[in-house]
Structure 1
Amino acid sequence: MDPPNPKRPRHDPSVENPISYSLRIPPPFNQSNVDTTISSFLSLSDLPLFSSSPLSIACSFDRVLDKVITPSSTDDTSDRFLDRTLQLASLLHNSTKRCIRKRATAQNSVSWPLLPELTTKVFSMLDMKSLMQASVCCTMFNKCAMDRVCYSHIDLTTAAKNVDNGVVCIMIHRAGKELRSLKLGCVSSRSIFLLTRSCLAPLTFNHGGLLRSLHLYNLILMPGKSLCDVLSVCVNLADLKIIGFVSGDKLNPVEHLGSITRNCRLIEHLFLEHCGGADSATSSTVVEFVDNCPNLSSLTLLQFGVNDAMARTIIMGFRQLKYINLSGTYGINGSFLRDLGLSCRDSRLQTLLLCDCYYLKEREVLLFLNSLLAGEFKSIRHIDVSSKHGLVSDGGIATFEPKFPVEELKKQKPGLTFVAIFPAPSSSSSSSSGEVYSDDTSSSSRSSYYSYGDQEEEDDVNSI
């Protein structure tokens, strides 16, 4: 009998089935060994991938799997092995795709003509939808599109139906302290979109301190007081627009005015629409508003409970006011117009809109126009008293054919645009249902009085 050869290795079952052995007794983890093994596997580039030859890599995979998955192997062991194999294949596939993207990014960086800073600047000028599309083009674009500067001006109104709390929060967090303007909701329709209080919560975590513009369209916030919480941290807010806003707890919209007064003292442009309820602003609220917001230049209060005394306080109190829109206000009859010619000689007011004011009197408008002809209130450039309800005559009934000195205004005030469009008495019933009247003078269904000023002045009015 031959003596035992010490160099001869003992019989090791793992030689026949190394994979099954590794499943039973996992070897100690060594990153270098793992990297070497994977490198050796990937270096088999000289062998054919798919071939009937026994030397093809595909045949090698089949042989190894056949040795592991045998009739004698348990179902549990086979399932774990197959799952592990699929995971490894997936990891290799994903790593390969990442490597391809890195190579493409490197090539894009060389061929792309703009520096990363300029690319980021260009991306910051895109709308949100275009920015998201650019971010998925390649890794280089994605890196530039993730810069906070690209989210300084967030406008989610064009894709309102696809916007939820998560989307809003992600956008605000991406912007961080670079956030300057935020628009939410749907502008073109009266559809109501429900967002919970967490939607604007990031603004209260040091993201709203430098916010300059906030526009909310047809939103429901639950609960409604979250809006006041947001306004309390937006101390640099200069432009605020709230249209169709509905509070989850039926918060009085007038309280929004109070919150603005207390917190947003740098406000310059304010647009509020009272969306329901009969709550009225108080004189103290208006006085406080005038005292605390001296920079206001544009004010729109639609369907608010403002009376003539409050309107007089607003126009005379805001020295920078150039645009005011009090349309749809029930508490105004126009008596505040009497004092404007004498008390506001130095006023900067250029645009006055009193459309669809139910109790606006014909006589008050006439007296105001006469004061303009007398040379008072020289800054005014655009006036609109159109109403589907007509104007209240001296007899207390609605008149749809008021007597205004339109021809004299054309001659003496060529730079003034005066609009007074009313439905004809025979069609007043149809107009009350919401029909819109254009200023086409050929229409016989309504009366219209107007005077056109310079087109440039009119364009300026429409742009406010």
Structure 2
Amino acid sequence: MLPSVSSSSENPNPSPLGLSDSSDFSQSQMDSIISSFVTFPDSPSLSIRSSFDRVLDNLLSSSDDSVQDQVIDRTLERFSLLLESTKRRFQKRATLHNSISWFLPSDLTIKVFSKLDTKSLMQVSACCTMLNKCAMDPSCYSHIDLTTSFKHADDRVLRTLINRSGKQLRSLKLGGRDAPGYIPSLFTSSCLAPLQFAGNLLRRLHIYSIGFMYIDSLLAPLSACANLTDLKIVGVNVLLEPIIELLAIKCCLIEHLFLDNFSQGIITYSTIELFVTNCPKLTSLTLLNFNLNEAMAGIIFKGFRKLKYINLSKTFEIYGSFLRVLGDRCRESPLETLILRDCYSLQEGEVVKFLNSIIAGNFISIRYIDVSSNRGLACDGERRTSKPNFPLETLKKKRWDVTFVGDFPLRPRY
């Protein structure tokens, strides 16, 4: 029951709502009133909804507008407090139930959670207190993936997850990977700043389509990632030569590098030579849209002795003679994949020589070659051909294990 309304003669300082002052109640009395309200039994003859309507109508009927506003605000506030308290108790009950019925101990639960993708992990953490506690373990955040599947990720989300990882962060992916169209990134140019404090053990960093970045916004975090072995930067408008220089100085353990020269910046001999000299562990290299010439390609091809995968697609100035620079060790070259797609200056004759070298028994590890181009191959000076004369039948007989791709869909003009 609601407390009785006091007259002004009984209370010289009545509440503006006409209710007794809260100082007249003890905590036990208040608890008793709330308990009576919550435990009031359901009955067809007694409608709680109707009672609410009558009580509020009564309180609001004889008051001025300001007092009515106070009644409404207080009613909304107190029922909101009741709703929040009910939700908290429901979560406690769910946690207790999960603690009893969950069949895995905490350490195994954390192990399972550590295998989840980032989006699934955050969904699990919202289920109940018990699962949230397990999902907060730093080992669950050693691999953070905030790519296209996580559409609403931004700097705040990234910073929160990196902080949760503590010193466990090993892999970080962010941006619009595999997006069907251009999706504006929610990340800012300073999104990687937390890596300056948490990137020491980071091994994989992939950045996709996050727009313009100041070079220092990348160099400072990367300089703290001395154990980085896998770096991929695609669709980011930033100069890449300083990044290659930094890798050669700070990240000498690099094994996989994928750079898309979105900004069309230049690269120099000295940078290539420094990179080849200081990063001997490199096994996979992709440089797209770079202004590499024949000599630079030769330095790369000969210098990285463990190189298994190389992709120099959309390189304008290479002709293909760099494929012959290995000399005596071309037979034992570990190269498995060679991709030279849309290389405008690539010569038909150089590709033929390379294929003949493979047929002769060199490059025994090679398994995949792609020299496709929408503009054909260069041949006989300034002429181009869409029907190059490759020894494909012989290649198929001698090296059946090699897949050769040479698609030239459009006939070039002569």
TM over 0.5: yes
Q: 1:7 is matched with which residue?
A: none
Instruction: Decide whether the 8 Å contact of 1:350 with 1:380 is kept in 2.
Output: yes
Q: 2:113 is matched with which residue?
A: 123
Task: Please give the alpha-carbon distance, in whole angstroms, between the structure 2 residues aligned to 1:372 and 1:63.
Answer: 93
Task: Please give the alpha-carbon distance, in whole angstroms, between the structure 2 residues aligned to 1:20 and 1:27.
Answer: 14
Q: 1:259 is matched with which residue?
A: 246
TM-score by length of 1: 0.76
Instruction: Decide whether the 8 Å contact of 2:213 with 2:236 is kept in 1.
Output: no
Identity of aligned residues (%): 49
Q: 1:151 is matched with which residue?
A: 141
Give the SS at the match of 2:286: strand
Q: 2:3 is matched with which residue?
A: none
Instruction: Decide whether the 8 Å contact of 1:270 with 1:300 is kept in 2.
Output: yes
**What code does the residue aligned with 1:140 have?**
M
Give the SS at the match of 1:272: strand
> Given the alignment, which residue of 122, 138, 156 partners 2:128?
138
Cα drift, residue 352 of structure 1: 1.4
TM-score by length of 2: 0.85
Instruction: Decide whether the 8 Å contact of 1:316 with 1:344 is kept in 2.
Output: no
Task: Please give the alpha-carbon distance, in whole angstroms, between the structure 2 residues aligned to 1:395 and 1:221.
Answer: 40
Moved more, 188-197 or 281-290: 188-197
Q: 1:3 is matched with which residue?
A: none
Aligned ranges for residues 336-351 of structure 1 at < 5 Å?
Answer: 336-351=322-337
Alpha carbons of structure 1 residues 327 and 134: separation in structure 2 relative to 1, 3 Å: same
Give the SS at the match of 2:315: coil
Aligned ranges for residues 7-406 of structure 1 at < 5 Å?
Answer: 13-14=10-11, 23=21, 27=23, 33-34=26-27, 36-44=28-36, 48=41, 71=62, 76=66, 79-80=69-70, 82-159=72-149, 161-189=151-179, 190-194=181-185, 195-204=187-196, 206-247=197-238, 252-277=239-264, 279-406=265-392
Give the SS at the match of 2:160: helix
Instruction: Decide whether the 8 Å contact of 1:342 with 1:376 is kept in 2.
Output: no
Q: 1:450 is matched with which residue?
A: none
Alpha carbons of structure 1 residues 92 and 316: separation in structure 2 relative to 1, 3 Å: same
Q: Deviations over 1:21-68 (max 9, x none)?
A: 865xx749x9xx53x2343224437755778789x99969976995x7
Task: Please give the alpha-carbon distance, in whole angstroms, between the structure 2 residues aligned to 1:60 and 1:371.
Answer: 91
Say whether residues 1:409 and 2:412 are aligned partners. Answer: no
Alpha carbons of structure 1 residues 14 and 179: separation in structure 2 relative to 1, 3 Å: farther
Pairwise CA RMSD of aligned residues? 3.3
Alpha carbons of structure 1 residues 95 and 323: separation in structure 2 relative to 1, 3 Å: same
Q: Deviations over 1:96-131 (max 9, x none)?
A: 221122112101211121222222222222223323
Task: Please give the alpha-carbon distance, in whole angstroms, between the structure 1 residues aligned to 2:146 and 2:321.
Answer: 42
Q: Deviations over 1:294-319 (max 9, x none)?
A: 21110000111111211121122112
Alpha carbons of structure 1 residues 371 and 47: separation in structure 2 relative to 1, 3 Å: closer
Alpha carbons of structure 1 residues 48 and 355: separation in structure 2 relative to 1, 3 Å: closer
Alpha carbons of structure 1 residues 47 and 186: separation in structure 2 relative to 1, 3 Å: closer
Structure 1, unaligned stretches of length 5 or more?
1-10, 430-464
Alpha carbons of structure 1 residues 78 and 313: separation in structure 2 relative to 1, 3 Å: same
Aligned length in residues? 402
